[in-house]
Amino acid sequence: MSQGNSHKMTRDSIPHLKIVTTPTTRPSPQPAHELMEHPRLLSGWGRTSPSASNVTVPQDIEMLSALFTTKDPGLRSPVTASFRLRQPAQGYKNSVIARGLGRSYGDAAQCAGGTVVDTSGLDFIGVIDPATGRVEVGGGTSLDALIRASLPLGWFIPVSPGTRQVTLGGAIAADVHGKNHHREGSFCSHVSSITLVTPTGVLTISSENDPELFWATAGGMGLTGVIANATLQLRRVETAWVEVDTERFNDLDSTMSAMEAMDHVYRYSVAWVDCSSHRGGLGRSILSRGDHAPLNALGPTLNERPLAIPRQLPKRVPFTPPRSLVSSSTARAFNEAWFRKTPRRKCGALVPLTSFLHPLDGVANWNLLYGKRGFVQYQFAVAPRHAELVRTAISMIAGAGLSCPMAVLKRFGPGSPGPLSFPIEGWTLALDFPVGPARLPPLLDELDELVAAVDGRVYLAKDARLRPELVAVMYPRLGELATARRRVDPHGILESDLSRRLGLTGAYNL
Amino acid sequence: MNDAFGHPQSAVVFGGTSEIAREIMALLVADRCRAVVLAGRDGDALEQVAKTLRSAGASTVEAVGFDATKPERAESTVTQCFEAAQGQVDLVIMAVGELGHQLADENDVDRVARMVTVNFTWPAAAMTAAAARLRAQGHGTIVVLSSVAGVRIRRANFIYGSAKAGLDAYAQGLFESLRGSGVSVHIVRPGFVMTKMTRGHQAAFFAVEPDVVAAAVVQGVERGQRVIWIPTVLRVLFLFFRLLPHSVWRRLRG
């Protein structure tokens, strides 16, 4: 994993990129007898449904593309008893998917029985163009490294997901959004070009030269190729601080109307919702909104080094508890404390950019708090006219007495052209649940049906349990992904556990 | 693929007409299992089960015939089943077994050999073949129907019990050998289950219906339990039974 102090400025060492079209005669990038020789068990951030695969760490774009073009003598050689057990199952092909920092909650960055491309070798940060703020960044570079390199120069990433510990490739593949979606859209709207390594060659794509493939890649969950690098448009900032207004609301309706009324004033806006039922009413919330602090907003001390990133002490969970520490009682206590400690209204507080935008990075491996069985995150989006579904969802959870320590509500602006890009104009609610209660799986299935019925959708980067029947209802333009895939991956090599589970790449005859 | 809660989308059932397996499949098909392969001896009975599962929402249900007295053919049966699944197999249920008639069988060499083959040799051979495929797949779940009869052997059913004890021990070893491969093994140890297999036998304490067993299995897999006792009280009870001196044990139960 690349940390800030070790990012490499190795733009010059990258081989000249050209479109390579190599005839792929064999749909298998590795000899079959090497398959699963040294398997590694991988799971998503939620730590559910792990699967074993080969992990390869290409150090440059040539090693990466060689992965798709390797000749495969193993498939033709006679099957000997010594490696017979390692042979893939009949009719099973060696699939490939990219993996960054493994922050997808579900099974998007794992490929059971196949090859997982760990992109950590593809981390470089190019020179930031001082005039335009454009920068070329390797697909395996973490946003953390990028921020540490760019913020001191007065540039910040255009869209921040809840954690900096995601790679650029992951951010594009999930078309991540941040607290500023209502004003500035999702991540890929700020990406001008992508160098994509596909089974049929290396392509440099943009929304102008190949809109079909570019938008299929934006949010495409890595199913169109491995993102080797991309050019990103950064935003000018004067300081490393945000001015934040925080308000407390006793119920969901007042929160949502406050968001509707004034969100456009703020660049960043997000509400934390208490999902446990209590006397005060349903869905009491804390709404925090803000914008980058201008230089003159900082006091004399901060003014000296306005772009310095305040140090955060690294905190870690020391071990995996056998049972989830998050239960309905601890979640309730946590929510109560959080709500109580927040003042009713507080304006213009100066908060470091990183702690405001990346609350999840406070504790490095917080996912371990959910114990051995892990957790699922459920995030859905619905159009503004179906805002009542947010209320329905929260009351269903409160009614079932499920523990949900984190519920985050946000408004989305218009979606991007990506057929698999999650954000659609309206509302989005993200919920965390420890795996365990028997009533959780059917409740989430029920929520899926309600969301699908109003043309809403769930976020694939977080999904670990959607029924495959509903994915085409939620993402009606799935066909566009298939069209792009037919062009760059005719043999269907790019495949993940997520894509198999949801039938995005046709592993099941559903 | 199994989802975050361990619910499969495809399953291969060895012993497809077993009442417990049928109940398990009914629960899984009602959830999100869509591709099912049923392997069994009786073609007509399999077709009956297949019909039920299809009407419950399974999109493909295939039937494969096999003979559990012929372990040398176990591998080709497994191959046939995995091919019929037309893709990845998330769950393998090993529900092959025969209770036999202790008193009639115990002096008959052929029958004893047959009982051990059907209850231990064939299932162990088939699990070996299935485990290799799941290992290559990088994920999967194996559910083995063992029995408390194999936990402490009784005079009244020691042929069946000893074969199940072998299978149970084999499954424990398989569990260890598959560690880190993404494949999990779950050993189901029910007490007396009221099925066609036990019809005519006197029901023991804590007798359960097959649907109770099925629900416990699905829940146990969801929870990642290595050994699933049904009902759960048997876990404690058999801990105690195993510690009993033989002289007490033989008097305690037939």
Map out the domains of chain B as residue ranges: 10-252
Whether residue A294 is contained in a domain is answered as: yes
- Residue A78 forms part of a structural domain: no
Chain B residues whose beta carbon lies within 8 Å of the beta carbon of residue A36? 135-136, 138
Per-residue pLDDT tens digits for B99-119? 999 999 999 999 999 999 999
pLDDT tens by residue, A361-413: 888 889 998 988 999 999 999 999 999 999 999 999 988 888 888 799 999 99
Contacts of B224 in chain A (CB under 8 A): 372-373
pLDDT at A73 over 80: no
Q: Which domain holds residue A320?
A: 241-465
ipTM rounded to 2 decimals: 0.92
CB atoms within 10 A of CB A472: 15
Name the 3-class secondary structure at A320: coil
Cβ within 8 Å, pair B1-A497: yes
Q: Is residue A260 part of a domain?
A: yes
Question: Would A368 be classed as within a structural domain?
Answer: yes
Residue A75 pLDDT > 60:
no
- Buried b / exposed e across B81-97, counting CB within 10 Å, b at 16+? bbebbbbbbbbbbbbbb
Query: Is it the case that residue A77 has pLDDT exceeding 50?
Result: no
What mean pLDDT is predicted for residues A232-239?
Answer: 96
On the 0-12 / 13-18 / 19+ scale of CB atoms within 10 A, B111 is middle
Superfamily of domain B10-252: NAD(P)-binding Rossmann-like Domain (3.40.50.720)
Three-state DSSP class for A288? strand
Please give, rounded to a whole number of angstroms, the shortest distance from the CA of B69 to a CA of chain A. Answer: 24
Q: Do A435 and B2 touch (CB under 8 A)?
A: no
- pLDDT (mean) for A236-265: 93
For the beta carbon of residue A486, count every other beta carbon within 10 angstroms: 10
**Is B219 an 8 Å CB contact of chain A?**
yes
pTM for the full predicted model: 0.89
- Asked whether residue A309 is domain-assigned, the answer is yes
CATH number at residue A260: 3.30.70.2520
Per-residue confidence band for A87, with pLDDT thresholds at 50, 70 and 90:
very low
B170 is known as an active-site residue: no
Nearest CB to A52; choose among B59, B88, B182: B182
pLDDT of A214 above 70: yes
How many structural domains are present in chain A?
A: 1
Residue contacts between A and B (CB atoms, under 8 Å): 121
Mean pLDDT, range A252-267, rounded to an integer:
93
Residue A315, in any domain of the structure: yes
Chain A, nearest residue to B9 by Cα:
A501
Is the N-terminal amide bond of B231 cis, ω within 30° of 0?
Answer: yes
CB B52 within 8 A of CB B132: no
Per-residue pLDDT, A70: 60
Mean pLDDT for the stretch of residues B10-25: 97
Q: How confident is the model at residue B10 (pLDDT cuts 50, 70, 90)?
A: very high
- Helix-helix angle A388-400:A252-262, to 10 degrees: 150
Does any domain span residue A351? yes
- Residue pair B164/B209 in contact (Cβ under 8 Å)? The answer is no
- pLDDT band (50, 70, 90) for residue A492: confident
